[in-house]
Structure 1
């Protein structure tokens, strides 16, 4: 394939790699700037990651939390979208090479690639655990859950069903809470052949408390809420090995499970190591207090992929990425105009996590912690507000509303074409 380069323009060219919270915030903030913008992403859609667990537990459609990246041109004409994966960056020639051989040249570059699951080199984790950071992974987990339940019906519940969630952060807590409600509220109606008491949920967390960044009172409330829902908590427990049929903890104890959900940590994509940028703790890209990549004047990094000088990292949440993207766009516009911009300052708007219906925790700097139903209402409003696109907000509101408001009557689940592994007689259909 012949190499194709972007058409030269008299205006500065800003290239943004990554269409997540940080990348899209930067692109939108450049809407009125006198620049041409190119957004590059390996996927054609942006994913609202905080609600991936709702897709995995059959409460939302994948389309409810994804947004077509090319539709950004409906309100912004100075942007073009390129679907591709970056294979290399030449900072001397200011050029980016994609997998198809095409080259994009830039005057300013914003790296907002996000992160991926970190298995910490634990044997068997990458092979047997199921992470939850992309739409594809959420759908795969959803299908495995349904297939496991259907298989148990066909075979007869000879063995107990067991699920382990590794990681006691927001993703792990929310996933464990949703699975518990699926077992407690839905299974007795939709799977009368199965005994919910023989379906076991275990959450493993290396620290002695859940939701590490939260204050102790909210950590204790979260612990009580999960235990009330019947989740077996293994706090202060590490994972030594993940096997096909369970997990070996740090003390050598084997915990059986048919499904292991990995929500234990994140790291940068391996490809970044070939991009010629300095990397710090967790292989995140090193930046200064203006979010510039160290050693480069016109290259910036925002969101989860970046770490400040001295390995001081912002929380790996949506708000730091969005604020960082907007700041870098403002900085680029100021540089073009020959103006100065002060160093980036993050405004902490607080942290949220939900345990299930009518149960959530909210921590905001300078205000008392909030828990229970009030925090859950705020969680619902915030997540619907930040969803991209009015259609997505409406669809998510309808689906989540029907799940939580009519929880005692509505047991419909959003499923796909789950492969049938067994015939009615229990023999393999493969």
Structure 2
């Protein structure tokens, strides 16, 4: 019997499990392991952080969507012992493997910025997303007693994809909280080091997003280098001097890295991402596969690693699962290739931008938001099943 361990039930892990259930030869024992019993659609965490979507709309029970041939174990991975071909856990006995897929997802990266870990709120999972919204609402509610306008200031550090989608949701959250607690204006500030947001989009679409957010009350501070996070302020460079934006809610969406398990296991890595072959495994340990945020695979068109996106992670999960099945059967492995279907960003409940298809057609406004809902529904269909999509999807059917 061949033992296959899949570490992580995110986008890549679940897809790999489904591929192995379909293609692995008889006698293969496949076990999917995750510290949670529910899968989180992490591309939608910004909605939880803004309080615009209930948690149950972006989560589902992992066991409910797995093929019957796949085992599931709830456990937290602590280390992968490549030489011994075993995996250690914080809360489970060590497990051996013949093949392993590491797909443990991302964690927030503060790049060692002073005060970021202590004073800013990361957006990593459902728990941290809920904490962000609870913090926002608690400070707004507290204004009635404090009369401190820092309670009414929300600072979002980082205007990458997640940051922009969060800001879009906050354009709905802020008016609702202001009405609920009868406060003066609530200020939302976006601070980003780059001078242009959303470089993955055509410049006209990025400009549309920028104008939309500014028109809806977001103070967009681009070209701003953050130097420190204090308990109630973000410090940034202004020439040779320092300036501060004061606020009691500081949200960190600047960047992510792979799982800490990667460095703890002694892999050669950069920001906890491991360079893999075109087959998504290690050259010197071909039984070890990596996918999603823990992997780095080269894009031959740019000679740079592909970005870490849910779309790429899903495709990597498909290829890794098929390749493990092929390796068990003694067949040739398939190289990972990728061509983006498109990119869609939400700007709140009824707006967005999209660049999709081979011709990279551009959409903005309500049509882009419809495309975003379709992307969410497709993800639920791929990760879970049709019944889950019908229950939790966004498009009316």
Q: Settle same-fold status: TM greater than 0.5.
A: yes
Q: Comparing 110-119 with 144-153, which one deviates more in the overlay? A: 144-153
Following superposition, the deviation at residue 57 of structure 1 comes to: 1.8
Following superposition, the deviation at residue 290 of structure 1 comes to: 0.9
**Contact 1:181/1:229 (8 A) holds in 2:** no
How far apart in 1 are the matches of 2:54 and 2:366? 25
**Contact 2:150/2:232 (8 A) holds in 1:** no
Q: After superposition, where does 1:189-228 map in structure 2 within 5 Å? A: 189-191=179-181, 193-196=182-185, 199-228=186-215
For 2:260, which of 257, 270, 284 is the aligned residue? 270
Structure 1 pair 305/61, CA: closer, same or farther in 2 (3 Å)? same
**Contact 1:164/1:203 (8 A) holds in 2:** yes
How far apart in 2 are the matches of 1:227 and 1:155? 28
How far apart in 1 are the matches of 2:279 and 2:150? 56
How far apart in 2 are the matches of 1:159 and 1:145? 11
How far apart in 1 are the matches of 2:98 and 2:349? 48
Superposed CA deviations along residues 117-152 of structure 1, whole A, max 9, x for unmatched, are 010111110111111111110111111112112211
Structure 1 pair 29/285, CA: closer, same or farther in 2 (3 Å)? same
Q: Comparing 324-333 with 355-364, which one deviates more in the overlay? A: 355-364
Superposed CA deviations along residues 329-371 of structure 1, whole A, max 9, x for unmatched, are 1112222222213311012111111112322111234222221
Q: Comparing 321-330 with 80-89, which one deviates more in the overlay? A: 80-89
How far apart in 2 are the matches of 1:164 and 1:301? 35
The corresponding residue for 2:35 is 42
Q: After superposition, where does 1:65-144 map in structure 2 within 5 Å? A: 65-73=58-66, 76-100=67-91, 102-144=93-135
The corresponding residue for 1:245 is 232
Is 1:376 the equivalent of 2:365? no
How far apart in 2 are the matches of 1:279 and 1:172? 26
| Count of paired positions | 383
Structure 1 pair 357/91, CA: closer, same or farther in 2 (3 Å)? closer
Q: After superposition, where does 1:303-382 map in structure 2 within 5 Å? A: 303-308=292-297, 312-364=304-356, 365-382=358-375
Is 1:14 the equivalent of 2:4? yes
Superposed CA deviations along residues 21-66 of structure 1, whole A, max 9, x for unmatched, are 0011100111122221111112222110111111122222212211
Structure 1 pair 85/317, CA: closer, same or farther in 2 (3 Å)? same
List gaps (5 residues or longer) in structure 1. Answer: 1-9, 402-430
Structure 1 pair 337/270, CA: closer, same or farther in 2 (3 Å)? closer
How far apart in 2 are the matches of 1:122 and 1:56? 23
Q: Cα RMSD (Å) of the superposition?
A: 2.1
Following superposition, the deviation at residue 395 of structure 1 comes to: 5.4
Following superposition, the deviation at residue 396 of structure 1 comes to: 4.4
How far apart in 2 are the matches of 1:147 and 1:160? 9
**Contact 1:285/1:306 (8 A) holds in 2:** yes
Query: What is the DSSP-based 3-state SS (H/G/I as helix, E as strand, rest coil) of the residue aligned with 1:67?
Result: strand
The corresponding residue for 2:251 is 261
The corresponding residue for 1:59 is 52
Larger Rg: 1
How far apart in 1 are the matches of 2:63 and 2:280? 26
Query: What is the DSSP-based 3-state SS (H/G/I as helix, E as strand, rest coil) of the residue aligned with 2:190?
Result: strand
Structure 1 pair 109/160, CA: closer, same or farther in 2 (3 Å)? closer
How far apart in 2 are the matches of 1:127 and 1:274? 22
The corresponding residue for 1:422 is none
Q: Comparing 350-359 with 87-96, which one deviates more in the overlay? A: 87-96
**Contact 2:75/2:92 (8 A) holds in 1:** no
How far apart in 1 are the matches of 2:4 and 2:252? 36
